[in-house]
Amino acid sequence: MYSEKVMDHFMNPRNVGEIENADGIGEVGNMKCGDIMRIYLKVSDQEVIEDIKFRTFGCGAAIATSSAITEMVKGKTLAEAWEISNKQVAEELGGLPESKMHCSNLAADALKRAIEDYRSRKAQQEA
């Protein structure tokens, strides 16, 4: 069902946890569908993702995509990170079962929310 890469991320997820005093937090999904992903960002002044962590309630695909995206964007700028799509995350993992493409493949959305959160906080600080 799942590729080896998915199973590796599922069993050995990268960057699980929280960041205290995170610069941005994004959450997507809902309990109805059985997937909730939360992403925490630590962002440098140059808008580089210095640290990223996640917590996910969900199936193998949900956990693996969360883990994969953290690896994909760590050290990237927010602008670069913003460009990443759910589809790219799935590709990075060697594909996902079709039934999982929609409900459990939301990590890029969670990341976008976190970036938005970072930006709105920034805007508030600057205001």
Partner 1 sequence: MQKVYLDNAATTRMHDEVLAAMQPYLTNVYGNPSSIHSFGREARKAVEEAREKTAAALGGEPREIIFTSGATEANNVAIRGVARALQQKGRHIITTAVEHHAVLDACKALEAEGFKVTVLPVDAYGMVSPRDVADAITDETILVSVMLANNEVGTVMPVAEIGKICRERGVVFHTDAVQAIGVLPVNVDDLQVDLLSLSAHKFHGPKGVGALYVRKGTKLKVFSFGGAQERKLRPGTENVAGIVGLGKAIELAVTDMEAKVSRIKAMRDKLMTGLLSIPHTRLNGHPEKRLPGYVNISFQYVEGESMILSLDLKGIAVSSGSACTSGSLDPSHVLMAMGLDHQTAHGSLRLTLSAYNTEEEIDYVLSVMPEIVARLRAMSPVYPGKD
Give me the residue label for tokens 């309630």. 57
Site for partner 1 in 9-68 (CB under 8 A): 10-11, 13, 16-18, 27, 31-38, 55-63
Q: Which is nearer to partner 1, 25 or 115 (CB)?
A: 25
Q: Which is nearer to partner 1, 52 or 63 (CB)?
A: 63
CB 92 within 8 A of CB 117: no
- Cα 78 from Cα 60, distance rounded (Å): 27
Strands (E), the chain: 24-30, 35-43, 49-57
Q: Which are the catalytic amino acids? A: 33, 103
- Which residues of the chain form contacts with partner 1 (CB under 8 A)? 1-2, 7, 10-11, 13, 16-18, 27, 31-38, 55-63, 99-100, 103-104
